[in-house]
Structure 1
């Protein structure tokens, strides 16, 4: 069936507008981090917000007020987790992954690759995407907390201070 009735369409149209406005407001209050995919927890919150929005829009069993409360609760939980992560190293390691060194001085770090389930061809692709044709031209490839790979080129400066927080 294409549609049940015009009331259902009108409900979806009105609730969509109001829920969207409420979500934008909650996200603006929560800050930029609410939409960042910096770690697994941030990704889960982003997906949960999308799922909540879809439920509010399409389910007659969920009132708009309940959906707005769910948006606010998710944003508040994310704020609380990030706040606790700043002050507690133990909690930070519980909810956040550490960046991982996958290639160093042109050499694959096979143990780290196996633990992170990353193949040599994926590292090679990241190196090529960074504009390098040779692994030897690369000082390091780091698997970041968001799943992306950072490629650090060799330079005149041998001290790679940006790798201080990277798990070796």
Structure 2
């Protein structure tokens, strides 16, 4: 058996300690500088960045052939790309359409939207679960259930509907699709 499976010397150990410590601090500073939006419920863009950052960080911490400078540049690159895409997303509608999943109306005014449920691989049980989690005992008390951009289900009771300005665009969109 080759002993290199167990021990290859101090150099890789020191490299892991240095790159891991500096890389971790770099990530904390970068994410702190990006603001709380980065750590909120994740959109698909946020999820891809989180997975990519985690993968890159894991690779640079354990790879002896990756220099400290290269590790920091890789983390900076990924966070910068995320920031640039978020900047474009906030300013241009076509980037929002490209990067975000729009909210989807699943239930409205006593009717389950079967086509939307099927398209998003959800069931009536999921709508009832969302109702219970929001403290409602029946769909009779609910005006709308919306599949949010982050994948959660938002429930709007009839009492809270008011003018419906945050729901009406999706109602009109559904009517246009019918």
TM-score, normalised via structure 2 length: 0.84
Q: 2:28 aligns with which of 11, 24, 48?
A: 24
CA distance 1:61–1:165, shift in 2 (3 Å): farther
User: What residue is the counterpart of 1:8 in the other structure?
Assistant: 12
Are residue 88 (structure 1) and residue 92 (structure 2) matched?
yes
- When structure 1 is superposed on structure 2, of 8-17 and 142-151 the one drifting more is 8-17
CA offset at residue 148 of structure 1? 0.7
User: What residue is the counterpart of 1:120 in the other structure?
Assistant: 124
CA distance 1:165–1:37, shift in 2 (3 Å): farther
Flag the structure with larger Rg: 2
Compute the RMSD of aligned alpha carbons: 2.0
CA distance 1:118–1:15, shift in 2 (3 Å): same
User: What residue is the counterpart of 2:46 in the other structure?
Assistant: 42
TM-score, normalised via structure 1 length: 0.88
Task: Decide whether the 8 Å contact of 2:109 with 2:144 is kept in 1.
Answer: yes
CA offsets 1:90-122 (integer angstroms, 9 cap, x no match): 221011110111111232110111111111112
CA offset at residue 9 of structure 1? 2.9
Aligned residues between the structures: 168
Unaligned runs of 5+ in 1: none
CA offsets 1:17-51 (integer angstroms, 9 cap, x no match): 11101111122222223333442111101111111
Unaligned runs of 5+ in 2: none
